[in-house]
Amino acid sequence: MSLKRQRGERAGLTREQVLDAALELADESGLAGLTMRGLGARLGVEAMTLYHYVPNKEALVDGMVERLFTAAQPAAPDPDWRAHLRGYAHDLRTALLRHPGILPAVVRPAVTPATLDAVEGGLRTLTGAGFPLGTALDVLNTLTLFVLGHAAAEVGISASDGPGSPTWLASLDRERYPLILESVRSGAGTDDTARFAFAVEALIGGFSLHNR
């Protein structure tokens, strides 16, 4: 990456290289630090060159998001629908957290061959387990949106130590917020991974009510 070329030598980029470099840059410098000029520099190329691989910056970000979703390998189909959903949620979260830089820009699930396969596979498992098709779709949409929101919030929260941080919360009025203070003191709710697992289990437990 970013090798210097002789005068007039070609860089030989591909769209995938551009998108991957953009993901790296966003992870290092944040969304605001993702610049056409900066991305060009990282690839050893002028900014305008990038417009041969991407029509504009919005499309660049869209491509990055697509790449993120595509990187989540579809969970192996599991006849146990609970295990299938657990695996799907876990894998999707892991893929999303691999590139926290663009997560703030992921406000909707991307539609790619990979995600379509994941949905189709999920529908097959769920309907096979007795869920009506409409319910199965609601289940998958609900779970996907939850994973998205949770992952985005995880990277959003961790960066700050202003309002909301444990030390900040510890200075609250103990008359008014006794339970919050007790929670902070006991260190509850600070483990993102544990909270995620808790939530997934709750959702699966709730979905079970539609299956008998």
Residues that bind a second copy (CB under 8 A): 103-105, 107-112, 116, 119-120, 123-124, 127, 133-134, 136-139, 141-142, 145-146, 148-150, 152-153, 155-157, 160, 163-164, 168-169, 172, 176-180, 182-183, 186, 188-189, 195, 198-199, 201-209
Q: Of residues 20, 24, 27, 35, which one binds DNA by CB under 7 A?
A: 35
Whats the size of the chain, residue-wise?
212
Q: Does 11 bind DNA (CB under 7 A)?
A: yes
- Identify whether the C-beta of residue 124 lies closer than 8 Å to the C-beta of residue 206: no
109 touches 145 (CB < 8 A): yes
Binding-site partner at residue 179 among DNA, a second copy, none, CB < 5 to 8 Å by type: a second copy
- CA atoms within 13 Å, Cβ hemisphere of 130: 8
Q: How far is the CB of 125 from a second copy (least distance, A)?
A: 10
Residue pair 140/109 in contact (Cβ under 8 Å)? The answer is: no
Partner in contact with 10, chosen from a second copy, DNA, none, beta carbon below 5 to 8 Å by kind: DNA
Cα separation, 42 vs 44, whole angstroms: 6
Q: Is 17 in the site for DNA (CB under 7 A)?
A: no
The tokens for 75 are: 């969970």
C-alpha span between 11 and 45 (Å, rounded): 7
In whole angstroms, what is the distance from residue 212 CA to residue 202 CA?
17
By CB under 7 A, is residue 8 in contact with DNA?
A: yes
Q: Which does 129 bind (CB under 5 to 8 A by kind): DNA, a second copy, none?
A: none
For DNA, the binding residue among 19, 21, 23, 36 (CB under 7 A) is 36
